Each structure stands twice: as C-alpha cells, then as structure tokens.
Amino acid sequence: MMFCPKCGSIILPKKEDGKIVMACSCGYRDKKESDGKIKEEVKNKSAEIEIIDKNYSGDILVEIECPKCSHQKAFFWTIQTRASDEPETKFYRCEKCSHTWRDYK
C-alpha cells in the first residue's frame, strides 16, 4: 500500500491518457508508471513478544481464590497491555501452585 507524501492518504491506481498512474485525491501523482495491479508487500513478518521474566511472582500478596487449586493467596501486579485510555491489566500468580491468570476489571 502506498501513501501520499503530501497528505498521507492512500494512493490508488488511476487511468490517465491511456496510462495507469498512482494518484492521490489531493493532486499528487507518482512519476513511475504502474501496471494497475496492487501488490502486497509484508515488511515485518512476525513481531516477537519479549518475555522479561517468566518466573516473576509479583510484589504484593493478596487474598484471592486461585481458579485452579482454590488456594486463597496470590501475588498481584499490573501491566498496561491495552491503549492508554483503558485500565491496566491485573495479573495474579497463585502462591501455592504458581498458576497465573489475569483480570481485566
């Protein structure tokens, strides 16, 4: 997908004078001729998720029931996993069985 360097809109193929050119609605025209086909190009195939410390147990011990073993205490921490206008995601890790779960509330 090509974007206009002037306004940032998507540049689409248009037929002008019997030739197909890539043009924007703002008036920008790409100097190269095109075959009229839109080609897909993937630049970054995979984004890796970095695990900082998978044995992180949290800092605060709270009273909450583990959904796996029903133990009543778990470590608690928060991470901003969504947009900044959304609340943080709460993570819990059971003190007894180390089961980890999250709470979006």
Q: Provide the annotated active-site residues.
A: 85-86
Cα 6 to Cα 26: distance, rounded to the nearest angstrom: 8
First to last CA, the chain: 38
All residues at 6 or more sequence positions from 29 whose CB lies less than 8 Å from its CB, including other chains: 21, 22, 23
Cα 94 from Cα 73, distance rounded (Å):
6
